[in-house]
A and B are shown apart, each in its own frame.
Chain A
């Protein structure tokens, strides 16, 4: 079904109105609440966006490939649960550089959605 403008576009526009027109008019607790709403909308926009989704999928693929290379079972499509279990049960060496790289990639993919500014600090 074609339903334009799409949800990414709608949210982007709505967030701009919130940030550019409404937030400057507010003070104190109301301003804080408006900024929280803008923050949540920003996350939703990025989560819907193609580039951040691609990074998340790449991170998942990297984690899957790592687990396969270590002969670790993968219980479902999202392999983070399998990775967490293998670490918790000490089947993976915490000092393994490849493991750390996978953890970093997964974390950065999530940060890219939640708080991209944090990566640039």
Chain B
């Protein structure tokens, strides 16, 4: 660990134009099955970052999932989000030389607070505080969705086929399911439903694609950073809104549809009032169904990493056993949507 800390420290010294720096604290941060995150505190002399500085270093883990971006790609996405005024850690330096630490990595500023979903969902917030938080989260997405193709630095992101993100997703998930070669009749059934019920496509925008409770940091009731950009893609704005409201990401507070934190209407109002595209709530519900299918696909892929021996892990193995939960939710949610029509 200390060798790694020294390697990161030397990199920061070089990049920031400092004379020297000393490692004050270095720790592996929790979370991130796909990346390793390290907290790095340095006492820096000289250059543009002189003084005590706290950074996060985000580095590739030994293996990822099919959809995830590389660290250099993620660094560029984070840069585009930062430029658009989204509350994110400032991306500082990218290292594309694997000899420095053994993996590619980048360095960003460290935000205060906690990303713990259970802490937030169970916290004793007033209705007004909840409203403020989910409205701000909606506004953050509205800012992000101002980023639209073409963007030179984001040339690696593919566009949805024929501008229809929903049908593109269905095609991708059908392919994933074929590749997994394990029968999942409920997922096949849900994919048919998604194919038959696509809403009018929205504009193509930069989507976070994992915007949910647990992937943003809060200090008290203040949002300090939106994290984990490895799934970002050009997509339909309703995908981010639906993912946030999906049943999978309410952490037991099912009645609070907006991430287990607040009301869905407040979240959508915050989005619209901050300049977000007008979105039909039915499209958000559709993308909530898509979110359940997608999470099931990710869980199946994670289980594959364990089963194949690529990365033996109890956590990955247990994630595979969660797929039945998504399937149960799919059966219930599609029925509810049909009953409501």
Q: Mark A90-121, 1 if CB is under 8 A from B, else 0.
A: 10001000011001101110110011001101
Residue A70 CB within 8 A of the other chain = no
Q: Is B185 within 8 A of A111, CB to CB?
A: no
Q: Is B196 within 8 A of A103, CB to CB?
A: no
Q: Is A107 within 8 A of B314, CB to CB?
A: no
Chain A CB within 10 Å, residue with most, of B174, B185, B317, B331: B185
Residue A83 CB within 8 A of the other chain = yes
> How many interface contacts (CB-CB < 8 Å) are there between A and B?
70
Q: Is B331 within 8 A of A100, CB to CB?
A: yes
Q: Is B318 within 8 A of A121, CB to CB?
A: no
A106 to B188, CA, bound (A): 14
Closest residue of A by beta carbon distance from B247 = A121
Instruction: Say yes or no: A100-B335 contact (C-beta < 8 A), given A81-B183, A84-B188, A94-B193.
Output: yes
Q: Is B328 within 8 A of A40, CB to CB?
A: no
Instruction: Identify which of A43, A99, A104, A119 contacts B321 (C-beta below 8 A).
Output: A43
Grouping DSSP codes into helix (H, G, I), strand (E, B) and loop, the B interface class, with mixed when no group exceeds half, is: helix
Q: Is B185 within 8 A of A118, CB to CB?
A: no
A80 to B177, CA, bound (A): 14
Residues of A within 8 A of B185 (CB): 80, 83-84, 87, 103, 106
Instruction: Identify which of B183, B192, B314 contacts A80 (C-beta below 8 A).
Output: B183
Q: Is A94 within 8 A of B196, CB to CB?
A: yes
Within 8 A of A (CB), among B227-268: 254
B interface bracket (residues with beta carbon within 8 Å of A) = 20 to 34
Q: Mark A30-62, 1 if CB is under 8 A from B, else 0.
A: 000100110110010000000000000000000
Q: How many whole Å from A25's CB to the nearest CB in chain B?
A: 20
Within 8 A of A (CB), among B256-300: none
Residues of B within 8 A of A87 (CB): 185, 188-189, 192
A43 to B328, CA, bound (A): 18
Residues of B within 8 A of A43 (CB): 321
Q: Mark B314-335, 1 if CB is under 8 A from A, else 0.
A: 1101100110110110010001
Q: Is A40 within 8 A of B314, CB to CB?
A: yes
Residues of A within 8 A of B325 (CB): 111, 114-115, 118
- Residues of A in contact, count (CB < 8 Å): 30
Residues of B within 8 A of A119 (CB): 328
Residue B94 CB within 8 A of the other chain = no
Residue B148 CB within 8 A of the other chain = no
Chain A CB within 10 Å, residue with most, of B183, B193, B317: B183
Residues of A within 8 A of B30 (CB): 29
Residues of B within 8 A of A110 (CB): 324, 327
Residue B184 CB within 8 A of the other chain = yes
Q: How many whole Å from A84's CB to the nearest CB in chain B?
A: 4
Q: How many whole Å from B340's CB to the nearest CB in chain A?
A: 15
Instruction: Say yes or no: A37-B314 contact (C-beta < 8 A), given A87-B185, A87-B192.
Output: yes
Residues of A within 8 A of B318 (CB): 36, 39-40
Instruction: Identify which of A29, A83, A108 contacts B183 (C-beta below 8 A).
Output: A83
Instruction: Identify which of A37, A90, A114 contacts B192 (C-beta below 8 A).
Output: A90
Q: Mark B167-186, 1 if CB is under 8 A from A, else 0.
A: 00000001000000001111
Residues of B within 8 A of A33 (CB): 314
Q: Mark B55-72, 1 if CB is under 8 A from A, else 0.
A: 000000000000000000
A87 to B189, CA, bound (A): 6
A110 to B193, CA, bound (A): 22
Closest residue of A by beta carbon distance from B196 = A94
Closest residue of B by beta carbon distance from A63 = B185
Residues of A within 8 A of B324 (CB): 107, 110-111, 114-115, 118
Q: What residues make up the interface of A, taking CB atoms closer than 8 Å to B?
A: 29, 33, 36-37, 39-40, 43, 80-81, 83-85, 87-88, 90, 94, 99-100, 103-104, 106-108, 110-111, 114-115, 118-119, 121
List 21 A-B residue pairs with CB atoms under 8 Å apart, sorted by A's residue number: A29-B30, A36-B315, A40-B318, A43-B321, A80-B183, A80-B184, A83-B183, A87-B192, A88-B174, A90-B192, A103-B331, A106-B186, A107-B186, A108-B328, A111-B328, A115-B321, A115-B322, A115-B325, A118-B325, A119-B328, A121-B254
